[in-house]
């Protein structure tokens, strides 16, 4: 007869709480049952806290140390733990976990090995893969940003959202352009939106850092204008500056203003820079991104008129 295993000693409540909070602090307020057991918090301890209303369950593996609503980061941990073995965040969710701002996903995407046991989780979409993409293991397990951005664009609800999800990570310096281009060149051919993603990735890796600049380049082509130079460098009294687009041969500069240009003291810096550019001999047109989206014809009429005037003057 096998000797009976002695029951594990249950921690006093205060000690149990301290141990559980220390684990949960690493995961935005949630803890995996296995990690709780590793610090001495037993199943019986968890059951006691849940029955007392001090903790809640977030699934088979997830314990919420407290009763408040889960943060986005806590939901990410829950999605990874509950979806199945080997699951990692992917797409826009992985970008958000890597620091992306300015976009809120309406779901959580995870990728996982095709042969893993998997479980349905509310609000989570699973993507089964024969070969897993490169991942980041610091913090919540997630796909590397350059791959996550490509996947996010493929899963986006519209072409415009796909473009936004490709531009934002570059604009926010989450993805070096060289690494982004290498990931795209190594990705499987023929996926959803392949042609669109190919154009946008090559554009953003060539110096376009916002969706507005992409729109502007396309609108110039549609109007028959020659392609403007991007991220034009000017040496001004305040130092070197990078202008969004321009035609250097005729002295026309176009600045595409995102929402951040209206924040805090940014208008002062923008005004000083524009004045310096004008005083150096260039004509500057400013186009808010919102204006480019809502009234593209009106703004492009101005660009065409300016281009024709300056081209004639330079002839």
**DSSP H helices in 25-121:** 33-38, 43-51, 72-83, 91-97
User: What is the pLDDT at residue 239?
Assistant: 74
User: What is the pLDDT at residue 3?
Assistant: 55
- Determine the Cα–Cα distance for residues 45 and 244; give it in Å rounded to an integer: 59
User: What is the pLDDT at residue 210?
Assistant: 66
Paired strand residues for 245 = 230, 254
Average of per-residue pLDDT values in the chain: 87
Q: Which of 22-26, 204-208, 237-241 has the lowest mean pLDDT?
A: 204-208
User: What is the pLDDT at residue 55?
Assistant: 95
User: What is the pLDDT at residue 5?
Assistant: 55
- Determine the Cα–Cα distance for residues 237 and 251; give it in Å rounded to an integer: 18
- Determine the Cα–Cα distance for residues 98 and 106; give it in Å rounded to an integer: 17
Rounded to 5 degrees, what are φ and ψ at 129?
-130, 140
Structure tokens at 39: 């610090």
Residue 239 burial (10 A CB sphere; 0-12, 13-18, 19+): exposed
pLDDT digits (tens, 9 = 90+) for 213-224: 778 888 999 999
- Determine the Cα–Cα distance for residues 209 and 212; give it in Å rounded to an integer: 9
- Residue bearing the bigger pLDDT, 1 or 279: 279
* Contact present, 112 and 85 (Cβ < 8 Å): yes
Q: Give the Cβ contact number of residue 98 at 10 Å.
A: 21
- Determine the Cα–Cα distance for residues 112 and 130; give it in Å rounded to an integer: 9
pLDDT digits (tens, 9 = 90+) for 139-190: 999 999 999 999 999 999 988 899 889 988 988 889 998 999 999 999 988 7
* Residue 27 DSSP symbol: G
How, if at all, do strands 108-113 and 124-129 pair? parallel
Structure tokens at 277: 């550019």
| For residue 24, pLDDT beyond 90 | yes
User: What is the pLDDT at residue 83?
Assistant: 95
Neighbour order of strands in the sheet with 229-236 = 229-236, 239-247, 252-257, 283-288
Nearest alpha carbon to residue 43 among 28, 61, 68: 61
């Amino acid at each position: 007869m096998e000797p009976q295993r002695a029951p594990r000693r249950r921690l006093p409540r205060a000690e149990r709480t301290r141990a559980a909070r220390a684990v949960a602090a690493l995961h935005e307020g949630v803890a995996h049952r296995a990690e709780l057991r590793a610090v001495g918090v037993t199943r019986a301890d968890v059951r006691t806290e849940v029955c007392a209303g001090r903790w809640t369950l977030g699934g088979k593996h997830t314990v919420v140390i407290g009763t408040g609503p889960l943060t986005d980061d806590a939901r990410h941990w829950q999605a990874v733990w509950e979806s199945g073995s080997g699951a990692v965040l992917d797409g826009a969710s992985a970008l958000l976990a890597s620091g992306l701002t300015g976009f809120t996903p309406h779901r959580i995407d995870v990728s996982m090995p095709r042969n893993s046991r998997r479980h349905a989780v509310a609000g989570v979409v699973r993507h089964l893969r024969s070969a897993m993409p490169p991942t980041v293991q610091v913090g919540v397990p997630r796909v590397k940003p350059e791959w996550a951005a490509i996947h996010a664009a493929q899963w986006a609800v519209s072409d415009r959202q796909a473009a936004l999800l490709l531009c934002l990570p570059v604009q926010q310096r989450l993805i070096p352009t060289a690494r982004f281009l290498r990931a795209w060149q190594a990705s499987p051919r023929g996926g959803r939106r392949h042609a669109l993603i190919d154009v946008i990735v090559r554009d953003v890796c060539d110096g376009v850092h916002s969706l507005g600049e992409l729109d502007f380049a396309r609108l110039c082509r549609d109007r028959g204008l020659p392609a403007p130079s991007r991220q034009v460098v000017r040496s001004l009294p305040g130092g070197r500056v990078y202008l969004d687009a321009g035609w250097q041969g005729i002295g026309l500069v176009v600045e595409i203003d995102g929402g951040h240009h209206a924040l805090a003291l940014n208008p002062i810096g923008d005004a000083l820079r524009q004045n310096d550019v004008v005083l150096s001999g260039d004509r500057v047109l400013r186009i808010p991104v919102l204006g480019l989206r809502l009234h593209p014809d009106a703004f492009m009429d101005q660009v065409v008129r300016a281009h024709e005037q300056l081209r004639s003057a330079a002839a």
